[in-house]
């Protein structure tokens, strides 16, 4: 059932709209002022908003402006209700992101035609982009350029044959070299996948609707996802004993796949640039309506110049360890965080420590869920 928020200070008009839309099986919420409208839009995340322009204290323009600042509400279809529209008013409304206008008085047919048109348009765009996004993200390997991926598969198949060959037919040195080359092919595949994902993220950042689709409307149990990815990564590099998990249970408004990618890339760097038998700590916390993920390691660290140069194609630590990467991992994590309205900060002391802190905003609705979960945990 689609949810529609009506922000209208005139009782008769608000009641009439509520009755018409309720009869059409919409879930409707009506409020009489802009301040409460902003609050409910952020808490309820409606599918459509109808908002009067001329209201005391907080008018419709301010409502639209405030909602456009929040990643969770900026792409909700927004229709202004007004008794009079001139070209200046319309230009202002459209510049703030309004999708349409309804001029009072309007008929039942005009109201429903406008509402259905906006909901249908959003549904079509959302479906088309979601299909495209899932196709790319769900099958990244098949989207790689043929001239790169097919040869890589053939090389890997040949290396697998050598590794599985009889010892009396194939020299042990060749088998060892094949193993190293096979591992290198896996790293190359990940680099190619990351370049494709990076390109997708850069395009998505430029389109608010695509960004909203990428974020999704979901709630993820962060502790379970982070623990699963962290343990798998530590085991992969043989450093189970170095991993220190201090995770506070928290529901976070981010797709599981996006959170997993952030953790995977940050931990990949932490293990790569810190020595065995040194601690890699993963810490989460909830503070003032924000979720924080902190990953720290006791490794080679980054210089101030390297910190200033964080970008897609910068290779960190190559001169120091000979084990530099493409630099994409950190940038991909940063882009995903930014798409969710958060921030990623890196603090580092060369030859001592690196701390990466991810901060994600949590909506009022999810904050309430976390509070209830925490109360239940204390009670048990």
DSSP 8-29: -S-HHHHHHHHHHHHHTT-EEE
Residue with tokens 């990643």: 71
Q: Is 38 helix (H, G, I), strand (E, B) or coil?
A: helix
Residue 200 in any domain: the answer is yes
Q: Do 227 and 370 belong to one domain?
A: yes
Looking at residue 210, its pLDDT comes to: 65
Is residue 320 situated within a structural domain?
yes
Domain assignment present for 127 = yes
Same domain, 226 and 317: yes
> Is 18 domain-assigned?
yes
pLDDT recorded at residue 13: 93
Same domain membership, residue 157 and residue 58 = no
Contact 49, 7 (CB under 8 A): yes
- Are 252 and 351 part of one and the same domain? yes
Let me know whether 268 and 187 are in one domain: no
Whole-number pLDDT of residue 15: 94
Q: What is the pTM (predicted TM-score) of this model?
A: 0.52
Number of H helices, E strands in the chain: 15, 12
Q: What pLDDT sits at residue 316? A: 40
Judgement on whether residues 102 and 21 belong to the same structural domain of the protein = yes
User: 361 and 222, same structural domain?
Assistant: yes
HSE on the CB side for 212, CA within 13 Å? 19
- Domain of 321: which CATH number? 3.30.565.10
- Residue 101 maps to a domain: yes
SS3 303: coil
Residue 301: inside a domain:
yes
The number of folded domains in the chain is 3
Tokens of 75: 């792409």
Each of the 380 residues of the chain gets a pLDDT tens digit; together they read 889 999 999 999 999 999 999 999 999 999 999 999 999 998 888 989 999 988 888 988 899 888 888 877 888 888 888 876 665 555 555 555 567 888 888 899 989 988 988 888 767 666 665 566 555 554 544 455 556 667 777 787 777 777 765 555 566 677 777 778 877 877 777 777 777 777 777 767 666 666 676 666 666 788 999 999 999 999 999 999 999 999 998 888 888 888 999 999 999 989 988 999 999 999 999 887 889 999 999 987 776 666 665 654 444 444 333 344 446 788 889 888 888 888 999 988 888 889 999 999 886 555 554 554 454 444 44
**Do residues 248 and 121 both lie within one domain?**
no
Residue 211 lies in a domain: no
- Domain final residue pick, 114, 131, 148: 131
Q: Which domain holds residue 257?
A: 216-379
Are residues 340 and 220 both part of a single domain?
Answer: yes
233 and 307 within one domain: yes
Within this chain, do residues 121 and 241 fall inside the same structural domain, yes or no? no
- Of 94, 109, 131, which residue sits at a domain end? 131
Kindly state whether residues 172 and 189 are assigned to the same domain: yes
CATH number where 60 lies? 3.40.50.2300
Cα 82 to Cα 245: distance, rounded to the nearest angstrom: 55
Choose one of 106, 131, 156: the last residue of a domain: 131
């Amino acid at each position: 059932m689609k949810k529609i928020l009506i922000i209208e200070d005139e009782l008769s008009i608000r009641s009439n709209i509520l009755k018409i839309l309720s009869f059409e099986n919409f879930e409707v919420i009506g409020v009489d002022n802009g301040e409460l409208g902003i609050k409910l839009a952020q808490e309820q995340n409606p599918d459509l908003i109808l908002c009067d322009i001329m209201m005391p204290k907080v008018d419709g323009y301010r409502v639209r402006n405030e909602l456009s600042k929040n990643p969770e509400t900026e792409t909700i279809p927004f229709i202004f209700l007004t008794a009079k529209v001139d070209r200046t008013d319309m230009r202002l409304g459209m510049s703030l992101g309004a999708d349409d206008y309804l001029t009072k008085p309007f008929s039942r047919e005009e109201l429903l035609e406008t509402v259905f048109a906006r909901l249908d348009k959003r549904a079509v765009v959302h479906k088309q982009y979601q299909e495209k996004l899932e196709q790319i993200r769900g099958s990244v390997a098949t989207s790689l350029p043929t001239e790169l991926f097919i040869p890589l598969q053939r090389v890997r198949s040949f290396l697998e044959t050598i590794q599985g060959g009889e010892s009396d037919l194939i020299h042990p040195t060749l088998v060892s070299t094949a193993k190293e080359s096979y591992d290198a092919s896996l790293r190359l595949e990940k680099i190619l996948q990351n370049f494709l994902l990076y390109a997708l993220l850069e395009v998505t950042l430029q389109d608010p609707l695509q960004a909203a689709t990428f974020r999704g409307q979901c709630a993820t149990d962060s502790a379970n996802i982070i623990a699963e990815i962290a343990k798998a990564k530590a085991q992969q590099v043989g450093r189970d004993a170095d991993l220190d998990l201090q995770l506070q249970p928290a529901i976070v408004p981010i797709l599981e796949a996006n959170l997993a990618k952030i953790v995977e890339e940050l931990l990949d760097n932490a293990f790569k640039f810190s020595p065995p038998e040194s601690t890699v700590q993963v810490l989460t916390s909830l503070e003032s309506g924000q979720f924080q993920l902190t990953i720290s390691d006791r490794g080679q660290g980054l210089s101030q110049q390297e910190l200033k140069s964080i970008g897609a194609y910068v290779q960190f630590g190559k001169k120091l360890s000979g084990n530099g990467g493409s630099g994409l991992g950190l940038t991909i994590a940063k882009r995903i965080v930014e798409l969710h309205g958060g921030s990623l900060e890196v603090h580092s002391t060369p030859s001592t420590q690196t701390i990466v802190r991810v901060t994600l905003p949590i909506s009022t609705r999810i904050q309430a869920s976390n509070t209830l979960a925490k109360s239940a945990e204390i009670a048990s």
